[in-house]
Structure 1
Amino acid sequence: MKLSEIKNHLSTLKNIAFKLPNGALVQPHFHVTEVGKITKDFIDCGGKVRSETIINFQLWEENDYDHRLHPERLLSIISLSEQTFKFEDLEIEVEYQGKETIGKYDLDFDGTYFLLTSKLTACLAEDACGISPEKPKVAISEVNKANSCKPNSGCC
């Protein structure tokens, strides 16, 4: 989800709620302790220099059970961050403390909840590493018969 998208969603909500990939909700007394921009410069396994920039939100829970972050407050935090750091309309990554370590999640919205979705790693230089792209699996019943070879047509 891009920054513009979360701002649009927040402008229509009365409450903010985040849902983890396992379906559990982040406790309603969470804080957004950081809104920032992270730039990562790196070299992939094929030797290509790359750079990625994202907007980062950090969610945090503590025993402050009376705390509730309302959409207008988060919008004001985002606005201040945009003015300070000159944000572009970048993708958002959310950090959230799990049981053992901080998890990093992508962000989506289902109309009610902001969904923390699992992130995956990938090789960025598959061709340099000798990794063949997966061939699409197609069911025989899905093959377009109009474009298939006819017996004795000479196409096979």
Structure 2
Amino acid sequence: MKTSEFLELLKENTNKSLVFEYQPGALVGANYHITEVKNISIDAVDCGAGTDAWKETIIQLWESPSEIGKRDYMSAYKALAILNKVDKIKPMEKNVEVKFEYSNATFHTAQLFVLGHQIKDDTVLFHLGVEKTDCKAKETCGVPETSAQTMETTCAPDSGCC
């Protein structure tokens, strides 16, 4: 999901609670805060010597230990106010992927993609998830897309790839 799409959903649903599902059936606690917004520029080289560059917006969610048990989620209106304030200080790239950085005591720190969203009653629910790492140079390196075991044998240390 693009940052602009996320912001537009907030604008269209200001009176609703903003809820995040970080893995199936597990919600970020109502005690969450938006603690950081990052404008990220990635300049990368893959294992086949291909170069790439892109930008992302990372919104960090943090659960406040002093508010454990809180029942009311942040409203889309409040989140939008926070993000608009950030945008005035450090303008966000709007046409780039938005991700959410999150962790808790039982879930490792991860940058989560928006897999989808639902709007029902008084809630905007964003379904988040991880994407698996992948070899971007399969064709260059001659790696079939079949299995990780094939990749291990094809991308040996002296193969010139991976």
Shorter-chain TM-score: which interval? 0.7 to 0.9
The amino acid of 1:113's aligned partner reads L
The equivalent of 1:5 in structure 2 is 5
CA contact (8 A) 1:106 1:118 kept: yes
CA RMSD of superposed structures (Å): 2.0
TM-score (norm 1): 0.75
Matched, 1:101 2:103: no
Q: Higher relative CO (CA 8 A, sep ≥ 6), structure 1 or 2?
A: 2
Q: Work out the percentage of aligned pairs sharing the same amino acid.
A: 28
Q: Name the SS for the 2:8 alignment partner.
A: helix
Alpha-carbon separation, structure 1, partners of 2:111 and 2:66: 23
Of 115-124 and 27-36, more deviation after overlay is shown by: 115-124
Of 80-89 and 18-27, more deviation after overlay is shown by: 80-89
> Which is higher, the Rg of structure 1 or of structure 2?
1
TM-score (norm 2): 0.73
Q: Name the SS for the 2:134 alignment partner.
A: coil
CA contact (8 A) 1:35 1:77 kept: no
Segments of 4+ moved more than 6 angstroms: none
Structure 1 unaligned runs (5+)? 135-156
The equivalent of 1:129 in structure 2 is 141
The equivalent of 1:88 in structure 2 is 93
- What's the CA shift for 1:78? 1.6
Structure 2 unaligned runs (5+)? 147-162
Q: Matched residue pairs, number?
A: 134
CA contact (8 A) 1:36 1:81 kept: no
CA contact (8 A) 1:109 1:115 kept: yes
- What's the CA shift for 1:68? 4.8
**Which one has a larger percent strand, Structure 1 or Structure 2?**
2
The equivalent of 1:35 in structure 2 is 37
